[in-house]
Each structure stands twice: as structure tokens, then as C-alpha cells.
């Protein structure tokens, strides 16, 4: 029997030798699973993220089905904002919608800080999960989850999802004092959300920056990196591995690593062979194109083998898709992919 500390996922995150390439999937909890869709019938997204029993069950579903090497905590990027009283909702087919977008310092100051006692359902869910996961495969690690400051700020400023992030950048460039105050506020909230999960038993964390790819390296360094670094530094004091992932961040991978990541997530647009020298002496996570699960199985596994082989050059490699599971994905195909990765010879 292995111990949780010796799990393939945590060993890879620490850059140690592994018995097999560990694998988990972003957005594995939910989306494509029929058991998830049945459980969520008639329940709003944010309501499901605040119910400990639902969180536990949804987080466990892909672990049971696939036997993946880590569980990702079921939550949403805007849940901490909802918890501190921001008027927002997740509109089906649209995404998070904020009633009163942030424009001024007064708007920022009206957002309270997050404390653990505001999210007792998170503590309860993590504790429940840790107990359940301890008995699966000799101990399956739980990854805590939070949105990175830039992405969360973009939702607050835009009022919802955006492709151009024009209002966000206008605030960042035109009102840097407001921007800095907003990013400091969000970094504190994100750090508190992750710290709560780790304090309850999460074994690692992932800071997810969906929209950072919209930035130039210079703007990232000046306006974003210090705030992401603050989150990662605070969580790093708790001694758990920190994964930092962004979408379309080919030009930012080195900077995202320097922000304080132990593991840099790489999306499917950047070959691992190119990404690994950029991230330095860090582990990498990724990065099969999520659409390859719709290809014939032999095509999918051949491409997965290429990813695994490329990952050998890194300090450590955690196999994942290059972004989240697409909702129409066939769960059986993900099961085949998991089995292939875990059985792929490393000797």
C-alpha cells in the first residue's frame, strides 16, 4: 500500500521518480458525466457549489469512474465572490454575470475580505473528501482550486465573460490605482479560499488563470504577476505543491512559473518540448488537445504517448488535457485514456 505522500501525483509535482505518469483531467468533476448531470438536475451551479454533500459526491464521481491519480475540488471560479456578498449569478449558456461591475475605488472597497467562517461548507466538503479519498487506491490526493486574480478581476470589471477584455484593460491602463486595489483585494480572497481548502486537508492547489493569455509579457509582469505571486506565496507557506495554469499563455509560461509555481500547466497550443525549457526547473502539467478524445482511440493514444515522451524531459510530468473536459466527451474514452497513460512504460 502506498501512502498519500507517496502518490504518483504528489511525487511528480515534487519532481521525484514515479511508478507511472500520473493523470487527472481539468473539469473531470462534472460536465460530461451522466451521473453528474442527473445529480445536478434542478440545482443551480452556485447552489451545488455550496452544498457539502453534493461537492463530495461530484468530486468523487470521476475518481470512481476513471481511477485518476488526483481529485479536483468541485467549485467555481466566482464562488468566493458570491461568498463575500458580490451580487452575481451563473447564467446557463452565458457564464458568470455580475450585477454591478467594478469601476471605482469605492466599488473595490465595498467588496469584503474572505474568511474561513464565511465558507463552512468548503471546510466540511474538503474534510469529507479527504476521508473518502484516503481509502481509494491507497490514498488519492485532493487538489484545491481557485481562480487567479486577473481572471476573477476580468469577470468583475466586464460584468461577465468577454473575448476582448476591453473594459478590463481600460481599467488596468487608465486607472492603475483602482486596478491595483482590485487585484490586491482578489488576491487576498483567492489566497483565503485556497488556504481554507488546504487547512481542511487538500494536498495540492491549482490557481487557474483562464484569461491571462490576453496579456503581453510586459503587461503581465507589471499588472498581474505580483498579485498571482502573492496568492502562491501565501499558499506555499502551507507546504503543498502549487499548480499554475493559464489558457493561451505560450508567451507567459516562464513568468507564470516565476510567480511561484511548483508545476506549470501548459495548454494544448504549446508542445511540451517547447514549454519545458521555458518553465525552468519545475514540473509541468498537460497537455493533450481536449478534442483528441473525439478521435479514434488509437489516434488519441498515439498522441498521448507523444505527450508522455515529451514530458520525460521535465523535472516532473503530470498528464492532463490542455484545458478542461469538453461537455460532449464520451466518458468511456476518458477511461481508455486514463488506463493508457497509467500503463505506459516509463522504464
- Grouped pLDDT means (10 residues each) for the chain, 347 residues: 85 97 95 94 95 98 97 96 95 91 97 97 98 94 98 96 94 98 98 98 97 96 98 97 97 97 97 96 97 98 98 98 96 98 94
C-alpha cell at 150: 486577473
59: left (phi over 0), alpha (psi -120 to 50) or beta: alpha
- Among candidate residues 65, 155, 209, 262, the one labeled active-site is 155
Locate 68 and state its grid cell.
485518476
Per-residue pLDDT, 106: 98
Tell me, yes or no, if 220 is annotated catalytic: no
Alpha helices by DSSP H, listed for the chain, are 8-13, 34-39, 45-48, 52-66, 79-83, 105-109, 120-133, 149-158, 166-174, 176-199, 217-223, 225-236, 253-258, 272-279, 297-311, 331-343
Of residues 58, 178, 196, the one with CA closest to residue 114: 196
**Which residue among 31, 103, 269, 336 is the active-site one?**
31
∠ Cα 304 310 312 (to 5°):
110
CA distance 323 to 241: 20
Per annotation, catalytic residue among 6, 14, 40, 254: 40
**DSSP code of residue 6:** G
Catalytic residue of the set 76, 209, 262, 267: 76
Strands 204-209 and 242-246: parallel
Which of the 8 DSSP states describes residue 187?
A: H
Is 64 an annotated catalytic residue? no
Query: How many other β-carbons are positioned within 10 Å of the β-carbon of residue 267?
Result: 23
Residue of 27, 230, 282, 315 with catalytic role: 27
**Nearest Cα residue to 283 out of 5, 9, 7:** 9
Told to judge if 336 belongs to the known catalytic residues of this protein, a careful annotator would answer no
| pLDDT (0 to 100) of residue 30 | 83
At residue 1, the pLDDT reads 45
Rounded Cα distance, 88 and 8, in Å: 38
Amino acid at each position: 500500500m502506498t501512502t498519500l505522500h507517496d502518490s504518483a501525483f504528489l511525487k511528480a509535482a515534487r519532481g521525484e521518480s514515479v511508478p507511472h505518469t500520473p493523470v487527472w483531467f481539468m473539469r473531470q468533476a462534472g460536465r460530461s458525466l451522466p451521473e453528474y448531470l442527473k445529480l445536478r438536475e434542478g440545482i443551480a451551479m452556485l447552489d451545488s457549489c455550496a452544498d457539502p454533500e453534493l461537492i463530495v459526491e461530484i468530486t468523487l464521481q470521476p475518481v470512481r469512474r476513471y481511477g485518476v491519480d488526483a481529485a479536483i475540488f468541485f467549485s467555481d471560479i466566482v464562488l468566493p465572490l458570491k461568498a463575500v456578498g458580490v451580487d452575481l449569478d451563473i447564467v446557463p449558456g452565458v457564464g458568470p454575470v455580475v450585477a454591478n461591475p467594478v469601476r471605482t475605488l469605492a466599488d473595490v472597497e465595498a467588496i469584503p475580505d474572505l474568511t474561513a467562517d464565511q465558507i463552512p461548507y468548503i471546510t466540511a466538503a474538503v474534510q469529507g473528501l479527504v476521508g473518502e479519498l484516503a481509502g481509494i487506491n491507497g490514498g488519492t490526493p485532493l487538489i484545491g482550486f481557485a481562480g487567479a486574480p486577473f481572471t476573477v478581476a476580468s469577470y468583475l470589471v466586464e460584468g461577465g465573460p468577454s473575448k476582448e477584455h476591453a473594459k478590463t484593460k481600460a481599467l488596468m491602463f487608465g486607472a492603475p490605482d483602482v486596478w491595483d486595489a482590485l487585484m490586491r483585494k482578489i488576491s487576498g480572497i483567492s489566497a483565503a479560499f485556497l488556504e481554507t481548502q488546504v487547512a481542511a486537508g487538500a494536498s495540492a492547489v491549482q490557481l487557474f488563470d483562464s484569461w491571462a493569455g490576453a496579456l503581453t509579457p510586459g503587461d503581465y509582469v507589471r499588472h498581474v504577476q505580483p498579485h498571482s505571486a502573492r496568492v502562491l506565496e501565501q499558499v506555499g507557506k502551507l507546504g503543498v505543491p502549487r499548480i499554475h495554469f493559464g489558457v493561451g499563455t505560450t508567451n507567459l509560461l516562464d513568468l507564470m512559473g516565476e510567480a511561484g509555481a511548483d508545476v506549470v500547466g501548459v495548454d494544448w497550443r504549446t508542445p511540451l518540448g517547447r514549454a519545458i525549457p521555458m518553465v525552468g526547473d519545475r514540473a509541468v502539467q498537460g497537455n493533450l488537445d481536449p478534442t483528441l478524445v473525439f478521435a479514434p482511440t488509437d489516434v488519441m493514444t498515439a498522441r498521448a504517448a507523444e505527450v508522455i515522451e515529451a514530458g520525460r524531459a521535465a523535472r516532473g510530468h503530470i498528464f492532463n488535457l490542455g484545458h478542461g473536459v469538453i461537455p460532449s466527451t464520451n466518458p468511456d474514452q476518458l477511461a481508455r485514456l486514463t488506463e493508457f497513460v497509467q500503463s505506459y512504460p516509463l522504464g
